[in-house]
Amino acid sequence: MLAEEGFSIEKELANMEHCFVATYGSGKPVIFILAEYDDALGDLSQVADLAELKPEVQGGNGHGCGHNLLGTGALAGAVGIKDYMEENKLAGTIKLLVVLQKKVGMEKPLWQEMACLMKSMWRYLGIQWILVEHGQSVV
């Protein structure tokens, strides 16, 4: 989809199979968007469109923490910004970093380490804006 929207894709960023950067445009401002997603987590299987707990597969994998929505929202945001830039003939570069958020025990997630690196290097990379979204569980 991103290639169809005019983004160039750099695959296997940092030798990570499921990590890539999609870039659109050129010049400034440089807008960096984090598109985090995760693999399905154990014991979270759920029948779609049902507000009560009902596993599709007992003990099966599923999404329950919202990471299945983060990548989609970031992708929609990147394409929306691109469309706005085109319609208004604006210069600028969009960089969408798509990274798999692995949850392994209590270790710090990879994206947090990457975000710290990006924060320390943002000037070096020429980034003017960084957009990150993250949901919060509500009980």
87-122 residue pLDDT tens? 999 999 999 988 776 554 444 555 566 666 556 556
Q: Given this model, what pLDDT does residue 139 score?
A: 46
Q: Which residues pair with 37 in a beta bridge?
A: 100
Beta-carbon contacts of residue 99 (< 8 Å; ≥ 6 apart): 13, 16, 18, 19, 34, 35, 36, 37, 110, 111, 114
77-89 pLDDT, tens digit per residue, is: 999 999 999 999 9
What gap in Å lies between CA 112 and CA 116, rounded to an integer? 6
pLDDT bracket for residue 29 (50, 70, 90): very high
Q: Which residues pair with 94 in a beta bridge?
A: 24, 31
Average pLDDT, the chain: 79
Element (H, E) at 8: strand 8-10
DSSP 8-state secondary structure symbol assigned to residue 94: E
pTM of the model: 0.72
CATH fold for the domain made of 8-40+66-131: Aminopeptidase (3.40.630)
Token pair 């070096």 is found at 124
Contact 85, 25 (CB under 8 A): yes
What gap in Å lies between CA 7 and CA 39, rounded to an integer? 24
Token pair 């989809």 is found at 1
What gap in Å lies between CA 139 and CA 119, rounded to an integer? 32
Q: Given this model, what pLDDT does residue 135 score?
A: 64
